[in-house]
Structure 1
Amino acid sequence: MTRPLIGVTTSARSGWRIFPLVAFNLWIAGGKGVRWVAGRPADLDDVDGLIIGGGDDISPDLYGGQLIASARLDTARDAMERRLVEGAMARGKPVLGICRGAQMINVALGGTLDQDAYGTYTASRKVWTVLPKKTVTVCDGTRLDEIAGDGPMRVNALHSQAVKDLGTGLRVAAHDEGGMIQSVERLTDPFALGVQWHPEHLFYARRQRALFRALVTAARACRDEEGQIAAVDAEMAAPS
């Protein structure tokens, strides 16, 4: 059976080293990735699903926020990714958001961001590493709970912003010890899940590989014109 094709957005600056990691995770999960960069063709009709990757902060112009001096922006990428998320929702195609990508899913669906998240959530432990040194708690009864299991999860962290007000149709799926949102998910088809950490660096961890497995399952269901969340539910319930 042909592997579902997943469009993967990356930074023009660092995507050359990040995309192979994401593509590796997708291949393990049964999919195949194609890299998309702002300024080059990125057609949703050519793929079965979408990953919005990590990178620079999202411009507050997209959600009516205030620019802070320390923010590093990529407005061309912002415009491309917002268009892609909105287009994926309109076409019924599944989306996985990684770090910045989780934030972009939220913004594209009408939500806002906290630009100084660790200034707001002072009890949240601030780390900046690809190693799993931060603890997040998966919320009971969420799809992330079903996919990756409940309870505390050790993850990495490379972010300064976080989701503030939720976008339409989203709910919180995980938070850290200080209450900062660490994951959001869509309640209905099309499947959409955003995580604040970088699971592509944690391919050795079963719970992180499960995120890519869920996306590939939803992408296959989308291609076959079947229910995506129902397919993910069945896949996660099956013995691994």
Structure 2
Amino acid sequence: MKPLIGVSTSATGGWRSYLAISFAIRRAGGRSRRITPKTGYSITELDGVIAGGGDDISASVYGGELLPNVRLDPERDALETELIPEAVRLEIPILGICRGAQMINVSLGGTLHTDIWEVFENAPKLRTVLPRKEIRVAADAWLSSVLQTRKCRVNALHHQSIKETGRSLRVSALDDHEIVQAIETRSGKPVLGVQWHPELMPFSKTQQRLFQWLVEAAKNRKDTGEYFELAA
């Protein structure tokens, strides 16, 4: 049976994101199940996890400054701060997308810039589904093995970003303004977070490799009980 990937989304409005991610998972040879605060989940049934995009993460989760007029989803925050550490402990492969990458970070003790444009004043206020931002992947990051490149163009739909990395995490990609664009584990365990939305670039072979990596890692764990480590 194909590996089952649990995809966390908001309970309301997250179905659009889920459809795009589900399509990418199917293309990579997996099957998906949507996880929301209403559906709950059984960790033992999952072979892999995707923490998807969505609303801002509440500042109370990481000790940040609460901003006015932002959309929050505290029920989803609670769901993912339980799901992600549990998956890490069980060595279930995880891919975080945009908010999901940030949630991986804060779930493991990291912090966020609450608003990147207050910190990175020279960064353009770019919000687009089109791949208009160039990122640089670190030479020794295993993300470069996944993407099979050290440079690529991505979309940008976020205004929060990773500040201090969480336990056992490292920065694996930056943009031209030194805003964190990807994180991964130092240990080689199958945990990866990207600040962009690869599911919204279905014609990019580079971006589809993220889903191929996740499904292959999930399949390997399902078949052998072990994950595989990637070398940079």
| Bin of the TM-score, shorter chain as denominator length | over 0.9
> Could you say which residue in structure 2 is the equivalent of 1:87?
86
Query: Are residues 1:110 and 2:127 paired?
Result: no
What residue in structure 1 maps to residue 37 of structure 2?
A: 38
- Which structure 1 residue ranges, 4+ long, deviate > 4 Å from structure 2? none
1:183-202 aligned at under 5 Å gives the runs 183-188=182-187, 190-202=189-201
Q: Could you tell me which amino acid in structure 2 is paired with residue 20 of structure 1?
A: L
1:153-177 deviation digits (Å, cap 9, x = unpaired): 1111110000000001111111111
Question: SS at the partner of 2:181?
Answer: strand
Q: How far off is 1:220 after superposition?
A: 1.2
CA RMSD of aligned residues (A): 1.5
SS at match of 1:172: strand
TM-score by length of 1: 0.92
Contact 1:115 1:160 in 2 (8 A): yes
- Please give the alpha-carbon distance, in whole angstroms, between the structure 2 residues aligned to 1:129 and 1:78: 25
The equivalent of 1:67 in structure 2 is 66
Rounded to whole Å, the distance in 1 between the matches of 2:40 and 2:147 is 33
Secondary structure of 2:228's partner?
Answer: helix
User: Aligned residue for 1:8?
Assistant: 7
Residue 217 of structure 2 aligns with which residue?
218
Q: Distance in 2 between matches of 1:70 and 1:153?
A: 33
| Structure 1 stretches lacking a partner, 5+ long | none
Residues 35-87 of structure 1, C-alpha deviation per residue, up to 9 Å, x if partnerless?
11112221111110100000000011111111011321100000001100011
Corresponding residue for 2:124? 125
Task: State the one-letter code of the partner of 1:56.
Answer: D
Contact 1:173 1:184 (8 Å CA) reproduced: yes
* Identity level (%): 42
Instruction: Give the superposition deviation at 1:17.
Output: 1.3
Give distance in 2, aligned partners of 1:191 and 1:123.
34
What SS does the aligned partner of 1:85 have? helix
Unaligned runs of 5+ in 2: none
Q: Tell me by how many angstroms 1:130 deviates.
A: 1.1
Q: Partners of 2:14 and 2:92 in 1: how far apart? A: 23
Q: Which residue of 2 aligns with 1:28?
A: 27
